[in-house]
Structure 1
Amino acid sequence: MNASRPASVSVLTLARGRQDHLRNVILGLAHQIRLPDELVIAAMQDAPFEDLPDAPFPIRQIVVPGEELPLARARNAVAAEADGDVLVFLDVDCIPHPALVSDYYAAATPGSGLSMGEVMYLPAGAAAPGWTIAGFDAVAERHSDRQGPPSEPRRLCRDYRCFWSLNFALHRQDWDRSGGFDEAYSGYGGEDTDFGRTLDAQGIPIWWIRGARVYHQHHAHCMPPIHHVTSILRNTEIFAAKWGHRTMEHWLKAFRMMGLIEDTPQGLRILRDPGPEDFALCAQADDMPYAASARVIRALEARQATIPLTDRTAQLSGAAAS
């Protein structure tokens, strides 16, 4: 950081569609205690967004097309485009608390590593026009599968697999040192864990911090993400070739238990496409603030426990012979 001037902050987000979600992100940034110096949007579609709300900071867009979600490439693109010393990455469905930018501004100093702020999940309808932060705080919930904020200002995250890109920040010096996200990954899944593993290998610490809160806007989602089986299988094999073992094992476990995939000597293989029963099991209902893989895996394990052992053996033998 240049000691002769204060650090600048670039907020970076990626979006395909989600116009209403993006509008709420901009409104949340417009009410920051410490305004960002810019917002850079990667439009993962054929054209930039139109009719965005006015904001008290510059908004720039870059188009990052791709039939599958180019998540790794888009994050690298917005970081390369940004002018800021501090890079704040927000998913487009995350409305920032008014203190988010100031919290990350304090945390993301040169060499300090990557910081992950708090995430709260909103029920359906909570982010309707006229929303307030006080209203969010009254109804938002923490995710049962995720680490909560530390009681101290920050706590070292000792498991790189806990990194996820929903809400994080780091100084540009640490970003440059990391090399960014690996663009071998395309579509959904794997690029986050790969980035966390890269930071771990390079000795760049990952921190949980208290504050830097976002409110995750409710939207239809499946967890485990059965709508992304193809890219998850491809990306876990890319991870295995790079690091010597697969990632996203909890999702792979659920896919196996649902009969969607199997292991073969040649690698993972898709057995069938997910059907209505699978989506009914994994989908986030309107009364659920978030989808959770652990809930689905528990249901699958309970279902499997009711199947007689002889039937389970026959199912396994049939799958192996197919």
Structure 2
Amino acid sequence: MTISVCTLAHGRETHLANLIAGLSRSQRRPDELVIAVMQPLRYDLPEAPFPIRQIMMGTSDIPLAAARNAAAGAARGEFLIFLDVDCIPAPSLVGDYARAGNEDEGVIMGEVAYLPKGATDGGIDFPAFDRLGVTHSERPGPPPSGLRACEDYRCFWSLNFALPARDFATIGGFDERYDGYGGEDTDFGRMVVEAGLPLWWVKGAKAYHQYHPHHMPPVHHLDSVLANAMAFAEKWGEPTMQHWLRAFVLMGLIERTEHGWRKLREAEETDLALTRQQEHQPYASSAVVLDWLEANAEAA
């Protein structure tokens, strides 16, 4: 079975170099790495013991759905592993996915450990990453061993997943009506189910998420979240990203109308400060912010 690793990148040159360095240390190396480049210039990449191809998207925006489709469309492998540019794969990740992919069809989601700021300053150090990495409090943990069915498509997570190329084609890829940030993951999970394919969590296939400043809920992507929430509701007849939308309402950024959601104002520095990932945090938490907003709304 030939294996292609697919990623998409905009900036974050050091993160991408670390992803390549991690893949280079794989116990089973991929047959290629395909990068969908969401910036005007190609990356100056380190040497690697496998082919690397850069697919230029011709944009400086972040068309996440289209970029994943472009990487998958250019991939030559029979089995596709998708990693976000922030991920450093553990030495066993490629092999773990290959074994799981031989067991069953469908989409497989591996483990993710979030690294604190500075964890990669000394280079690739997997024992240190295992000591420092933490799991996300808002994501399900892996099964004790092997595969476990994911019963809720809304849990699909594109950060670290894999599937046979034929299954990606059956699903139809990511819906490119979702432009920018928000909603395309949940839509893809729904399309997996609609295609009659299973979603799996797997023990192993671990990726280490490199620190970067972020906002949760993503007020810096307010416009695309609103547009993509409307697209999801029109397509499936039900809402998505409701926890983010609820937070935006409590922050006074949006209101709900009979026709959907309406933006009231742009995010300001106070909103960014509330949602900003602090330097001591390995990841930003929507739940913490939403709990704070709900508590303050009740006290008002």
- After TM superposition, the score normalised by the length of structure 1 is 0.91
State how 1:45-56 maps to structure 2 within 5 Å.
Answer: 45-50=39-44, 52-56=45-49
Partner of 1:313: none
Partner of 2:9: 15
Residue type of the alignment partner of 2:78: D
Moved beyond 3 Å, runs of 4+? none
Residue in structure 1 matching 2:164, options 166, 171, 176: 171
The superposition leaves residues 43-90 of structure 1 with CA deviations (integer Å, 9 ceiling, x where unpaired) of 01112112x111000000011133531111111111110110110000
Residue type of the alignment partner of 1:205: P
Q: Is the contact made by 1:149 and 1:210 (CA closer than 8 Å) also made in structure 2? A: yes
State how 1:1-322 maps to structure 2 within 5 Å.
Answer: 7-50=1-44, 52-109=45-102, 112-307=105-300
What is the CA–CA distance in structure 2 between the aligned matches of 1:251 and 1:220, rounded to whole Å?
Answer: 18
- Tell me whether 92-101 or 128-137 shows the greater mean CA deviation: 128-137
The superposition leaves residues 108-165 of structure 1 with CA deviations (integer Å, 9 ceiling, x where unpaired) of 2386100000000000000114230001011111110011111131100000000010
Partner of 1:317: none
The superposition leaves residues 235-260 of structure 1 with CA deviations (integer Å, 9 ceiling, x where unpaired) of 11111111001211110011001110
What is the CA–CA distance in structure 2 between the aligned matches of 1:154 and 1:265, rounded to whole Å?
Answer: 43
What is the CA–CA distance in structure 2 between the aligned matches of 1:241 and 1:111, rounded to whole Å?
Answer: 33
- What SS does structure 2 have at the residue aligned with 1:297? helix
Q: CA deviation at 1:267?
A: 2.0
The superposition leaves residues 12-55 of structure 1 with CA deviations (integer Å, 9 ceiling, x where unpaired) of 000000100000000000000000000000001112112x1110
What is the CA–CA distance in structure 2 between the aligned matches of 1:306 and 1:273, rounded to whole Å?
Answer: 25
- What SS does structure 2 have at the residue aligned with 1:109? helix
What is the CA–CA distance in structure 1 between the aligned matches of 2:3 and 2:253, rounded to whole Å?
Answer: 44
What is the CA–CA distance in structure 1 between the aligned matches of 2:294 and 2:46, rounded to whole Å?
Answer: 47
CA RMSD of aligned residues (A): 1.1
Q: Is the contact made by 2:22 and 2:124 (CA closer than 8 Å) also made in structure 1? A: no
Q: Which has the larger radius of gyration?
A: 1
The superposition leaves residues 295-316 of structure 1 with CA deviations (integer Å, 9 ceiling, x where unpaired) of 0011111111210xxxxxxxxx
Q: CA deviation at 1:266?
A: 2.6
Q: Is the contact made by 2:19 and 2:87 (CA closer than 8 Å) also made in structure 1? A: yes
The superposition leaves residues 88-113 of structure 1 with CA deviations (integer Å, 9 ceiling, x where unpaired) of 00000000000000011111238610
What is the CA–CA distance in structure 1 between the aligned matches of 2:174 and 2:194, rounded to whole Å?
Answer: 14
Q: Is the contact made by 1:110 and 1:171 (CA closer than 8 Å) also made in structure 2? A: no
Q: Is the contact made by 1:111 and 1:171 (CA closer than 8 Å) also made in structure 2? A: no
- What SS does structure 2 have at the residue aligned with 1:21? helix
Q: Is the contact made by 2:215 and 2:272 (CA closer than 8 Å) also made in structure 1? A: yes
What is the CA–CA distance in structure 2 between the aligned matches of 1:219 and 1:255, rounded to whole Å?
Answer: 23
Q: Is the contact made by 1:109 and 1:171 (CA closer than 8 Å) also made in structure 2? A: no
Residue type of the alignment partner of 1:23: A
- What SS does structure 2 have at the residue aligned with 1:92? coil
What is the CA–CA distance in structure 1 between the aligned matches of 2:284 and 2:38, rounded to whole Å?
Answer: 24
Percent identical: 54
The superposition leaves residues 262-299 of structure 1 with CA deviations (integer Å, 9 ceiling, x where unpaired) of 01123211111111211111110010010010000111
Q: CA deviation at 1:231?
A: 0.3
- What SS does structure 1 have at the residue aligned with 2:256? strand
Count of equivalent residues? 300
- What SS does structure 2 have at the residue aligned with 1:95? strand
Q: Is the contact made by 2:39 and 2:61 (CA closer than 8 Å) also made in structure 1? A: no
